[in-house]
Amino acid sequence: MTAIVSHLADRLSGSAAVPGDKSVSHRALMFGAMAVGETRITGLLEGDDVLCTAAAMRALGAQVTRLDDGTWQVFGCGVGGLRAPDGVLDMGNSGTAARLLLGVLAGHPMSATMSGDASLRSRPMERVMAPLRDMGAAFATAEGGRLPVTVTGAADPLPITYTLPVASAQVKSAVLLAGLTAPGETTVIEPVPTRDHTERLLRHFGARVEVSAEGEGRRITLTGEPELKARNVVVPADISSAAFPMVAALLVPGSEITLARVGTNPLRAGLIETLAEMGARIERRDATDADGEPVADILAAAGPLRAVDVPPERAPSMIDEFPILAVAAALADGTTRMTGLAELRVKESDRLAAMAGGLARCGVRVEETEDSLTVHGDGTPPPGGAVIDAELDHRIAMAFLVLGMVSREPIRVERAETIATSFPNFAGIMNGLGARMEEMKENAA
């Protein structure tokens, strides 16, 4: 078990490169494995979750190698060319990898079993499997439609038109990935736009993907049975990881930091938009494009924040950033209300309950409903001094470690080892900017 204690920081300064985007990293490996030829990936997140995806694609027949210069090389098998693995595919802690891979496997006429750690085995998969059954796949699962799951892919996958019942880029992506091996057009209608890394990368690899407006949402149509052609991919820095040092710099007096080449995809930028409304000093510099993904250097500097109401329609563009936004709200002046958060209850942990309970233990007044969180701040640091069980949730762990940097008393975060799934060396990078975090390895009781 890993415990980390975060102490009050004086000021943060300097620049840092946060790890590569996890969503793009998973997809780059999967699409490279289904392409023809050699794909080279630069900036891949080498966290536990993505390494599980790399291992899974090897087990399915692709050649996946890390080169000496840190570049990852993938020789793919072509669309529909993956083979049955010899053993169980271990997806670790990654819901994204598991759900996307369900779509990949659903379009291949073979059987494969995937599992994961205790957290992943507790997370629901039925929302992904439901449309994939309509495409011809079959599933045998643990109780409640959870992992481990054995997928029997369709011999003749059927194209479908599917309207998402909830805003989920993972469900959308799974359907589109299964549609790669189906003849004709597979269409997903999303009532609320969700992150579009799958659409962008599929186009980058040569697939035909058309996107049009559908009411307030979007209609995404994939033409099946393309020949994906190997492409080089430069993975931007992960905005969800950058969120933690960025918010820390906003909160620790006297701080100013720069984060290099952060992905600023408009469908992932809800946190930056919200922080700007709170009065945050954030600038984007040297904006450019990296293989279809917008990137920029982000400068963040300390200053007072004011409370805001976050509209529910913004939730899909910042769903992974609500834990750290709640920390910012704890130090803002006034009452911040966040709504439309039901999806947080089926993440690596029940993040809504974890943030409400943890903030309360740190002396912050909060109110929680089934899909909302209200945080009362007065513009001053909270008492802190709590012990927080991260419940093996990397984003809960990092959020409270940032809170410890501005609390009057240190905050100890236990079961923080899964930080490595998305942000290896988080404590080291934060300490390099001026944080005071102590990491301790302990034997499990």
φ, ψ at 106 (rounded to 5°): -60, -25
Distances 276 to 89, 113, 250, 328 between C-alpha atoms, Å = 42, 45, 11, 12
CA distances from 144 to 111, 122, 439 (A): 20, 9, 37
Catalytic site includes residue 49 = no
CB atoms < 10 A from the CB of 9, how many?
A: 23
Return the half-sphere exposure (C-beta side, CA atoms, 13 A cut-off) of residue 310: 34
Of 49, 117, 291, 320, the catalytic one is: 320
By the 10 Å C-beta count (0-12 exposed, 13-18 middle, 19+ buried), 216 is classed as exposed
Among 300, 353, 327, 351, residue whose Cα is nearest residue 411? 327
Give kind and range of the element (H or E) at residue 38.
strand 38-42
Distance CA 335, CA 44 (A): 39
8 A C-beta contact, residue 420 and residue 396 = no
The span from the CA of 266 to the CA of 3, in Å, is 35
- List, in order, residues 6 or more apart from 413 with CB less than 8 Å away: 3, 4, 5, 6, 388, 390, 397, 400, 401, 404
Q: Which residues are catalytic?
A: 320
